[in-house]
Amino acid sequence: MLARAIDQLVRREGPRVLAGLIRWSGDFDLAEEAFQAACTQALEAWPRRGLPERPGAWLTTVGRRRALDLVRRRPPDVPLEPALSEALAAEAVEPGGTPDVEDDRLRLLFTVCHPALAQPAQIALALRTLCGLTTGEIARAHLEPEPTTAQRLVRAKRKIAEARIPFEVPPADRLAERLDGVLSTIYLVFNEGFSATEGESWIRPDLCAEAIRLGRLVVELLPGEAEAEGLLALMLLHDARRPARTAEDGTLVPLEEQDRSRWDRGLIDEGAAVLDRAVARGAPGPYQLQAAIAALHVRAARPEDTDWPQIAALYGALLRHSPSPIVELNAAAAVAMARGPEAGLEWMERLDRSGMLAGYHLLPAAQADLLRRLGRADEARVAYGRALALVRHPAERRFLERRLAALG
């Protein structure tokens, strides 16, 4: 029982302590090794001597001592961060628990999401350092062999050290641009978790929960950023529908067929409240628009209550803000619901002819769905065939096959 409580405590305090050690030492590897040692020592010492009054400070102090031990064993010509060399000279470490630990986590987030690092590396580093996932857990989450993940982490940490990516929150004039990158990395983590609907999901650590945790971190540490709140709201509102998204056999359940009583009311309320706060700041952006669309979906008690004209208008705004063929496809689907299948179909056919979504299975799937609604069964069959030739995810394939079979 105590061991479990200690384990939870270490997990909760861990990311803050690690972020602080990274800033203090200026060295990811050294900080991680020292942090691991501090955790091991905690698991050994706390059951015997009882919990320290401030566990985070305890871990930081022990971690710093351990880091100094490690540095003393290094060749003398490796340059050191000022804090490390001062501590070495004084042969003592300052007690841990500096007041700006929160800032350290924010600095760490901006550092690991620096655009000088490839996005897969950003994701792996964020999960490793800010969420406390092990390399093995990150590898399983991305369905890649553990040595690949390990290599990715090693290379990214080496680049941070050798190219000297600074451990800092960017200055005000760069903040907006850099925050975009941070938010898009977080959303990518979320989407990886959200599209993991297939059988292997039980071995996948909950990437959605980790992404939401990172989203909360940004909102908490950078108050007043409407798009950060927009992203958090978007993730909460999507996540609310997760329990109803897959049937027991793993088949994807489309929105209109989902059992709405299984949606998580708590998450919906929280997401809607966060979105309201964001919108009130009067700085609209793509995450807020997407969250507003998600909110309209989850607020409808029955599928037929959905406010499609409003959703179509929001997609129009999103399209003006960040034009992309995929947003256009969604806009066309919303128009089909708001103004009838013909209007949507015409738009989708134009998209099809443009070739911008060639190879993307959701375009013929959406066309097939509208043709089905219009009773044009033969054309719908052809379109389902095109979608099935392109689809890769087994749950989506089963869904399309079921729809095709229902056409008779």
Partner 1 sequence: MQYIVLIYGSEKGWSSMSKPQVEQMYAEYAQYSQDLAKAGVLRAGSELKPASTATTVRVRGGKRQVTDGPFAETKEQLGGYYVIEVPNLESALDWAARCPSARDGSIEVRPLAQSAQG
- Taking the least distance from each CB to partner 1, the nearer of 160 and 289 is 160
Output the smallest distance, CB 25 to partner 1, in A: 16
203 binds partner 1 (CB under 8 A): no
CB of 35 to partner 1, least distance (A): 23
91 binds partner 1 (CB under 8 A): no
Segment contacting partner 1 (CB under 8 A): 127-135, 163-171, 195-203, 370-378? Answer: 163-171
**Shortest Å distance, C-beta 169 to partner 1:** 11
Does 162 contact partner 1 by CB under 8 A? yes
Q: Which of 90, 116, 176, 377 binds partner 1 (CB under 8 A)?
A: 116
Identity of the residue, 116 or 209, whose beta carbon is nearer to partner 1 in the bound complex: 116
Contact stretch for partner 1 (CB under 8 A) within 44-52, 158-166, 317-325, 358-366: 158-166
Please report how close the Cβ of residue 168 comes to partner 1 at its closest, in angstroms: 7
Please report whether residue 82 would count as binding partner 1 according to CB under 8 A: no
Per CB under 8 A, 92 contacts partner 1: no
Using the minimum distance from each CB to partner 1, give the nearer residue, 3 or 163.
Answer: 163
Instruction: Closer to partner 1 by CB, 162 or 378: give it.
Output: 162
Part of the chain binding partner 1 (CB under 8 A), chosen from 159-167, 234-242, 257-265, 319-327: 159-167
What is the identity of the amino acid at 236?
Answer: L
172 touches partner 1 by CB under 8 A: no
Taking CB under 8 A as the criterion, the residue among 88, 165, 356, 390 binding partner 1 is 165
Give min distance, CB of 178 to partner 1, in A: 10
As given in the structure block, the two tokens for residue 16 are: 């803050």
Q: Could you tell me the smallest distance in angstroms from the CB atom of residue 118 to partner 1?
A: 15
Burial class (CB in 10 A: 0-12, 13-18, 19+), 221: middle
HEC states along the chain? CHHHHHHHHHHHHHHHHHHHHHHHHCCHHHHHHHHHHHHHHHHHHHHHHCCCCCHHHHHHHHHHHHHHHHHHCCCCCCCCCHHHHHHHHHCCCCCCCCCCHHHHHHHHHHHHCCCCCCHHHHHHHHHHHCCCCCHHHHHHHCCCCHHHHHHHHHHHHHHHHHCCCCCCCCCHHHHHHHHHHHHHHHHHHHHHHHCCCCHHHHHCCCHHHHHHHHHHHHHHHCCCCHHHHHHHHHHHHHHHCHHHCECCCCCECCHHHCCHHHCCHHHHHHHHHHHHHHHHCCCCCHHHHHHHHHHHHHHCCCHHHCCHHHHHHHHHHHHHHCCCHHHHHHHHHHHHHHHCHHHHHHHHHHHHHHCCCCCCCHHHHHHHHHHHHCCCHHHHHHHHHHHHHHCCCHHHHHHHHHHHHHCC
CB–CB of 143/200 below 8 Å?
yes
177 sits near partner 1 (criterion: CB under 8 A): no
CB of 165 to partner 1, least distance (A): 5
Residue 78 beta carbon to partner 1: minimum distance, rounded to whole angstroms: 9
Q: Does residue number 164 form part of the binding site for partner 1 (CB under 8 A)?
A: yes
Q: Which of 47, 95, 147, 166 binds partner 1 (CB under 8 A)?
A: 166
**Which is nearer to partner 1, 117 or 226 (by Cβ)?**
117
Q: Burial-class residue 72 by CB neighbours within 10 Å (0-12, 13-18, 19+).
A: exposed
Q: Is 163 an interacting residue with respect to partner 1 (CB under 8 A)? A: yes
The alpha carbon of residue 9 and the mean position of all alpha carbons in its chain are separated, in whole angstroms, by 24
Using the minimum distance from each CB to partner 1, give the nearer residue, 100 or 168: 168
**Where does this chain bind partner 1 (CB under 8 A)?**
79, 114, 116, 162-166, 168, 170
